[in-house]
Structure 1
Amino acid sequence: MNKFLLAVHVLAAIVAVGPVTVAASMFPPSARKALAEPGDTQALSTVRVLHRICRVYATVGVAVPVFGFATAKNMGVLGDTWLIVSIALTALAAVVLAALVLPRQTALMEGMEESIEEGVGGGGQGAAYAGASRVGPRDTARLAMFTGLFNLLWATVTILMIVRPGSTTGA
């Protein structure tokens, strides 16, 4: 049973958390491109897809700690320091994603969509840039910082899961 739970836990981490970290990392540069070229609907479409990937896979990612807890319980390591630190870092990563990354992605995307609507309604490229003042480089820089923090937290959890201080595997 341990091997099954561990396999599902690791697969869920790869399948769910992997796409979130990649899509979230790709979002700020894609948003910068979309902001620089407000009439580029392809750039906005890319931003929309990346945001959707982040939202959907973040939801699927709930399976990672669920199976992680089940695995830890079966292995009898729930009280181990490395696991408690991993749980705390995982919770912090979830908070960073839910409270800082996803809402900022949404705000940037909505600002870009407003820019395009104003550009179409205003009848020209100059009008498209008028709405872009609501979101800009500072917003994408903050988002990139929070995304980097999210990715760093997940990398640390991954390292802890591999190294497992005090492990009997000798790793």
Structure 2
Amino acid sequence: MLEHVLLSVHVLGGIVFVGGSAAATSLFPRYAPAAAGEGRSRSVAVALHRITRGYAVLGLIVPLAGMILAGVQGRTGEIWITISMILTAVAALLLATQIHPRQRQVLADPGDSGRLRLLSMLAGVYNLAWAVVVVLMIVRPGTGQGG
């Protein structure tokens, strides 16, 4: 029963919170104020910035539930768990030290589109890290069993 609850929290948290932050980081550059302001909306960009922060904080439940679940299942030594935890840490650091602060800078001082291109690239790396984690959880390399 505990495993089912942990797995449910882990998966639902990933879909809602990680998915929400991934979508917000990807959409932010499209709406952020810039020198050429066509199709831009500061209010939407501000909302996406808040979603990025809020869902990232709430998303901490995902690795926490995942680590507890791995411990309960006795899987903490499996390579796919280790790689997933490393990628999760990389994604979290990228969000906390690069994406969110740069979003704040763009909102405070709209400037050249180069900063928005960089934010788009960082969002792509962030989303790629999460995509790899999802694939690892499905394939589970090194366990001799997929799915």
TM-score, length-scaled by structure 2: 0.92
Structure 2: runs of 5+ lacking an equivalent: none
State which structure, 1 or 2, has the greater radius of gyration over its C-alpha atoms: 1
DSSP-derived class of the 2:41 partner: helix
Q: CA–CA distance in 2 between the matches of 1:168 and 1:148?
A: 31
Count of residues in Structure 1 that have an aligned counterpart in Structure 2: 145
TM-score (norm 1): 0.80
State the shift of 1:155 in Å: 0.5
Identity %: 41
How far apart are residue 37 of structure 1 and its match?
A: 2.4
Deviations 1:110-148 (A, max 9, x none): 113xxxxxxxxxxxxxxxxxxxxxx21111011111111
Partner SS, residue 98 of structure 1? helix
Cα distance, 1:167 vs structure 2? 3.8
| CA-CA distance at 1:30 after TM superposition | 1.2
User: Which string of whole-angstrom CA distances, capped at 9 and with x for unpartnered residues, describes residues 6-47 of structure 1?
Assistant: 11111111111011000110001112xx32229x9x711011
Instruction: Output the amino acid matched with 2:118.
Output: R
Shift of 1:62: 0.5
The aligned counterpart of 1:124 is none
**1:28 maps to what in 2?**
29
RMSD: 1.6
Aligned to 1:100: 98
Higher helix residue share: 1
* Letter in structure 1 aligned against 2:119: L
Give 4+ residue runs of structure 1 displaced > 2 Å after superposition: 166-171
CA separation in 2, counterparts of 1:139 and 1:170?
41
